[in-house]
Amino acid sequence: MHQFPPSLTKRMLQSSDSNWLFEIRNNENFRRFFVNPNPVSSVEHQHWFESLYSDEISQFWIFELERVRVGYLRVRVSDEDASEVSIGIDPSFQGMGIASRIFAQTRFFEMDSKTEKFVATVHKDNLKSLKLFSRYGFINPREHSVMKDFLVLEKVSD
């Protein structure tokens, strides 16, 4: 019997996720607020994926609805006292509340108890993302010191 809404399950990154990540990365709606909004080649993607897959400090989670990949959450140690959070939802599943469900079920400080704060770097025009992060406790937006089109938000407790 199907549950409604279907439960959102979380698992660690696998090598078989590479093609899906490549596809969503190059979707126009997905990449437009990235620091590098241009499409990437399969070689560039392969390098990126290999460094992601071998990174033992950071965490990269894949979320699925009934075994279908719908999104990811990345928590990357960026400096001694902060970890950088980024999230991506497959464009076919955006606008359905999935990112909100991921944030609602994530306890950042349980995932990484060593960090003092979590930060998110978000394009000023990425209203969905700004709304999402601020709703889940990422506050004090300030302009990025180098990338003037980006804001940095921070979260200091769950």
Ligand X SMILES: CC(C)(COP(=O)(O)OP(=O)(O)OC[C@H]1O[C@@H](n2cnc3c(N)ncnc32)[C@H](O)[C@@H]1OP(=O)(O)O)[C@@H](O)C(=O)NCCC(=O)NCCS
Q: Which residues bind ligand X (CB under 6 A)?
A: 30, 33, 86-89, 94-100, 120, 122, 126-129, 131-132, 135
Q: Tell me the closest approach of the beta carbon of residue 61 to ligand X, in angstroms.
A: 14
Q: Which is nearer to ligand X, 5 or 97 (CB)?
A: 97
Q: Which is nearer to ligand X, 62 or 87 (CB)?
A: 87
Answer for the pair 46, 52: CB distance below 8 angstroms, yes or no: no
Q: Which is nearer to ligand X, 44 or 126 (CB)?
A: 126
Q: Which is nearer to ligand X, 132 or 152 (CB)?
A: 132
Using CA atoms in the order 67, 76, 21, 98, what is the torsion angle rounded to 10 degrees? 50
Q: How far apart are CA 88 and CA 30, in angstroms?
A: 8
The SS3 call for residue 67 is coil
Question: 122: phi > 0 → left, psi -120 to 50 → alpha, else beta; which?
Answer: beta
Q: Tell me the closest approach of the beta carbon of residue 128 to ligand X, in angstroms.
A: 4
Strand partners, 108: none
Q: Tell me the closest approach of the beta carbon of residue 46 to ligand X, in angstroms.
A: 20
Q: Tell me the closest approach of the beta carbon of residue 66 to ligand X, in angstroms.
A: 16
Across 66-146, the runs of DSSP E, i.e. the strands, are 68-79, 82-89, 117-123, 139-143
